[in-house]
Amino acid sequence: MIYLDNAATTKMCEQALKEYEYYACSNFYNPSAIYQPAIDVSLALNAARGQIKKCLGANKGDIIFTSGATEANNLAIRGSLRQGKWEYVFSAGEHASVFNLANALKHEDKVVHFVKLSKSGEIDYDALQSMLNDKTRLVSVMFVNNVTGVINDIARVSQIVRRHAPNALLHVDGVQAVCKLPFNLQEFDVDLFSLSGHKFHAAKGVGALYVKNNAALKNLVYGGGQEFGLRSGTENVPAIMSMAKAMQAQNIEQNYQIASQLKQAFLQHIKDERITVVGQNTSPYICMLLFDGVNGETLTRALEKSVIVGRGSACSAKKAGNHVLEAMGFNVQQIKGAIRVSFDASLSNADVVSAAETIKQTYYQLWEKLK
């Protein structure tokens, strides 16, 4: 069985698993306690913050540990809300944890704007600029789209926001970019940046929010004041330490080249006039395909004994429709045929070629039955 749903989750790497076990079973102390073993754990947590900041290329600010990117996104957005006639701007292609929250804010009578996507899948930068003003409080634009793999130009977004919305915070959902694309947060000038450990071979149930200035956020959880008072609750030390270790273990440049070669080989073998490859300027780790005449769920289930693929966001896989593909202009019938293939550097060229041939053959068989 070939696993090609790495955008949904990844297998823990050996280094992260060993670190998790050590802090779960040996060095298991509560970092808020006052005896020396606990103090040592607290120091290790702070060292992990520094390691994560270094991996992100951030030279200032703090790392707030969370239960994952969904919580990090909610903390970034809800924590930014303020009384008054502020406006909030989101791209139309955001992950459900941002997109659904944005719609909830509309029902709470907040002024919410959605920036349309271009046909290529990127945010419409001109449309973004037109929505910004002195009343803009927050702009949230994801780095790499989790459905299509399309990469937004965050440096360009930052420049537009700083020029046209001087009072705004810029939040970026970086889940599909961290440990996959080479980048440096210092060059982007973002205020808030979300990440999730299980997307790059760490444990599930842990993530983080980079915060440039803690004063910009309000806490959502009350308790003992952990995480600079922004996210109270005893830290999930084993998972946090596994996340920091997994980040250190990744050779981003080398893995990027491997993933690029894998995706190119896959696309060469999956090519067909009835199969549409979605998006331009995409991550080498993600490939969204539309299969004409066959339901993507049917194809996914037909493949699962030999090739594991996804439908898009794992968080929304069981729900009808796809707001990202809709925002790109695809119709309902086209969207029904969607599957997402996502790669990992541990795969071989033979793996992806075999997977492409299996997917294509299975598609042909289904198409013949259904036409």
Residues 137 and 110 in one domain: yes
Residues 171 and 282 in one domain: no
Neighbours of 137 (CB within 10 A): 19
Residues 94 and 167 in one domain: yes
Residues 72 and 194 in one domain: yes
| Residue with the two structure tokens 């947060």 | 185
Question: What average pLDDT score do residues 63-70 get?
Answer: 97
Q: Is the pLDDT of residue 31 over 70?
A: yes
Residues 290 and 244 in one domain: no
The residue type found at 285 is Y
Average pLDDT in the chain: 95
Residues 151 and 288 in one domain: no
Residues 91 and 226 in one domain: yes
C-alpha count within 13 angstroms, C-beta hemisphere, residue 154: 27
320 vs 32: which has the higher pLDDT? 32
Q: Using the 3D structure, point to which of 249, 281, 304 is the last residue of a domain.
A: 249
The residue ranges of DSSP E strands in 44-128, in sequence order, are: 62-66, 87-91, 111-115
Tens of pLDDT, residue by residue over 196-232, are 999 999 999 999 999 999 999 999 999 999 988 899 9
Q: Is the pLDDT of residue 306 over 50?
A: yes
Tens of pLDDT, residue by residue over 358-371, are 999 999 999 887 76
The domain that holds 151 is classified in CATH as 3.40.640.10
Identify any residues that bridge with 310 across adjacent strands, giving them in sequence order.
340
Give phi and psi for 138, each to the nearest 5. Answer: -145, 140
Residues 240 and 165 in one domain: yes
Residues 245 and 356 in one domain: no
Helix (H) or strand (E) holding 289: strand 286-291
Q: Is the pLDDT of residue 57 over 60?
A: yes
Rounded Cα distance between 142 and 161, Å, is: 14
Number of domains in the chain: 2
Residues 203 and 293 in one domain: no
Per the structure, the complete domain to which residue 228 belongs is given by: 14-249
Residues 196 and 260 in one domain: no
Report residue 257's pLDDT band, with 50, 70 and 90 as the boundaries.
very high
DSSP assignment letter at 338: E
Q: Is the pLDDT of residue 335 over 80?
A: yes
Strands 169-173, 136-140: parallel, antiparallel or unpaired by DSSP?
A: parallel
Provide the annotated active-site residues.
315
Q: Using the 3D structure, point to which of 205, 231, 249 is the last residue of a domain.
A: 249
Neighbours of 135 (CB within 10 A): 14
Residues 89 and 165 in one domain: yes
pLDDT for the residue numbered 368: 82
Share of the chain above pLDDT 70, in %: 97
132, 363 Cβ separation under 8 angstroms: no
| Residue with the two structure tokens 């803690």 | 214
Q: Using the 3D structure, point to which of 228, 249, 270 is the last residue of a domain.
A: 249
The pTM assigned to this predicted structure is 0.95
Rounded Cα distance between 225 and 214, Å, is: 13
pLDDT for the residue numbered 318: 47
pLDDT for the residue numbered 313: 56
Quickly list DSSP for 171-213.
EEE-TTTTTTS---HHHHT-SEEEEEGGGTTS-SS-EEEEES-
